[in-house]
Structure 1
Amino acid sequence: MSDSGFQDEGRQRLQKVLANAGVASRRVCEDYIVAGRVRVNGVVVTELGTRVDPESDLVDVDGTAIQLDATKRYVMLNKPTGVVSSMKDDQGRPDLRRFTKDWPERLYNVGRLDAETSGLLVLTNDGGLAHVLAHPSFGVTKVYIAKVEDRVTPQTIAKLTAGIELDDGPIAADKARLLDASGQSSLVELTLHSGRNRIVRRMMAAVGHPVRELVRRQFGPLHLGTLPAGRARELTTVERGALLTLARRDAPSPGADPQP
């Protein structure tokens, strides 16, 4: 029976869609398909005549998600201190709008950093991705570097990973590392997947080392690198693939037929 019923308007040949997404030339993309390296909605596809809808189907090559919908924008911002994580602040404080004016799309932040914390924020118009990555149950890993008061000991680092009790329940760092302890302050690197409010500041205060400065260096697979404070840039193809792969990891496949 012909599959022409699925070849409705908006659906395109898979190799063309992959080539348009910058994966490789159309000929190389055909080789990928035949070799079984391409999946559509979680199912390996080897037929060159396969058609997909770039706006709804999820495609990956060698397990890395491919961005097909060109209307979606993904931006990394190094948020400076003194800026609230909002597109419009009711109290008139500096917000994120100044960093999005170079893009025509309406971008929104994925999660939040408090006003006095700097570092990596993702801005996007992909609401589905933003919801998944910001949801506490998804547990996206974040890496922070905190400059804290006084000299932190190895025993304190061990306490952070073993777990401490806060007002809203117990918490433990996935990883904790002492980077420097000299003079009247220390540098501590904390890796967490918690999305609780001001969690790093509250954890460090609980072990007797209030935070002086705090920066988020990593969000999931994304690294801040050398991006200066107050600057924003689009994610690279590799970064987009890594972020989309993470977001799709536990997501149900769209368009999947529930019938056997």
Structure 2
Amino acid sequence: MADDETEGIRLQKVLASAGIASRRASEILIDEGRVEVNGQVVTEQGRRVNPETDHIRVDGARIPPPRRHLYLVLNKPRGVVSTMEDPEGRRTLADYLPRTKERLFHVGRLDTETEGLIVLTNDGDFAHRLAHPSYEVPKTYVVQAAGVMDNRTLKRLEKGVTLEDGPVKPDKVKLISRAADRTMVSVTLHEGRNRVVRRMFDAVGHPVDRLSRTGIGPIRLGNLRSGETRDLTREELGALLDLVQL
């Protein structure tokens, strides 16, 4: 144990502890040149690393360090306030979280009537970077808009609209479906301004009836039910650490 602490931990042990493969299978991955440490391919067995600080990748995918923090995904229901406490007695995020003594930060605020994906963590540096606009982490929303949007209006959204606080241009706009009185659209953008999606659709004359955030960077809600939480997967956390340059 002292040897591990002073000189680092054998790479195959780190990979096995991370759940990548057994130690023997990890040795094969190293032999095949599929493992990188700090940007360099490692092929020798017995290489020692510091899993807390070294950037380790397998087939290009980042392997996050051993978890010292909580990283949770919540599917926030409509009508829930994006705070931990509410003086008015409304439902808050805290009502849906596992009991913990840790103080959790929510990343990516949603207004009360918007549902969907929120990340919660007690890793303050990670939360700050994930929310900071300079890292341009994309967010995906599914919008149910009033009325039938024609292709010209969709193109207008795609090219960007000017709001009272400046222009906004989505990264991607995709039509999901049209019905007699509504249109479903997927919108991806890295904007963080208040109610920006709702204001975009107001600007083109199709107010939002229902709004759900379905993705932040590599994270997707998937089958997570409204009001449920789950841990970030190893793959999601590794990709997010890359995005926010940690």
TM > 0.5: yes
Aligned to 1:185: 182
- Residue 247 of structure 1 is matched in structure 2 by 241
Residue identity opposite 1:182 in structure 2: A
Q: CA deviation at 1:177?
A: 2.4
Provide closer, same or farther for how the CA distance between residues 199 and 122 of structure 1 changes in structure 2, counting only shifts above 3 A.
same
Residue 206 (str. 1) matches residue 196 (str. 2):
no
Contact 1:149-1:209 within 8 A present in 2 as well: yes
Task: Confirm or deny that 1:47 pairs with 2:41.
Answer: no
Compared CA separation, residues 41 and 84, structure 1 to 2 (3 A): farther
Name the SS for the 1:93 alignment partner: coil
Return the letter of the residue paired with 1:251. Answer: Q
Measured after TM superposition, the shift of residue 162 of structure 1 is 1.0
Q: Give runs of aligned pairs for residues 76-95 of structure 1, distance below 5 A.
A: 76-89=73-86, 91-95=88-92
Q: CA deviation at 1:90?
A: 5.2
Q: Between Structure 1 and Structure 2, how many residues are aligned?
A: 244
Amino acid corresponding to residue 73 of structure 2 in structure 1: M
Change (3 A) 1:103 1:54: farther
* Residue 230 of structure 1, CA deviation: 0.6
**Partner residue in 1 for 2:34:** 37
Match for residue 231 of structure 1 among 228, 233, 238: 228
Q: Identity of aligned pairs, percent?
A: 49
The offset of 1:166, in angstroms, is 0.7
Mapping of residues 126-165 of structure 1, within 5 Å: 126-165=123-162
- Matched-pair contact (CA < 8 Å) for 1:142–1:216: yes
Whole-angstrom CA distance in 1 between matches of 2:164 and 2:182: 26
SS at match of 2:21: coil
Q: Is the 8 A contact 2:138 2:189 kept in 1?
A: yes
**Structure 1: segments with no counterpart, 5+ residues:** 1-5, 253-260
TM-score for the superposition, normalised by structure 2: 0.88
Q: If the length of structure 1 is used for normalisation, what is the TM-score? A: 0.84
Q: Distance in 1 between matches of 2:220 and 2:230?
A: 12
Shift of 1:42: 2.7
Contact 1:17–1:68 (Cα < 8 Å) also in 2: no
Letter in 1 for 2:71: Y
Residue-by-residue CA offset, 1:175-198 (whole Å, 9 max, x unaligned):
222323323322222121212221
Deviations 1:18-54 (A, max 9, x none): 1011010011112222333222233333332322223
Supply the distance in 1 between the matched residues of 2:160 and 2:230 (Cα, whole angstroms): 36
The corresponding residue for 1:197 is 194
Which secondary structure does the structure 2 equivalent of 1:176 belong to?
strand
Q: Give 1:100 deviation, angstroms.
A: 2.2
Q: Is it true that 1:59 corresponds to 2:53 in the alignment?
A: no
Query: Please, which runs of 5 or more residues in structure 2 have no aligned partner?
Result: none
Q: 1:91, 1:167 → 2: CA distance?
A: 30
How far, CA to CA, are the matches of 1:32 and 1:243 in structure 2? 21
- One-letter identity of the residue aligned with 2:241: A
Question: Structure 1, residues 58-113: CA drift from partner, whole Å, max 9, x if none?
Answer: 22111111133132332221100111222334554322112222456443222211
**Superposition deviation, residue 205 in structure 1:** 0.5
Aligned AA for 1:11? G
**By how many angstroms is 1:7 displaced?**
6.2
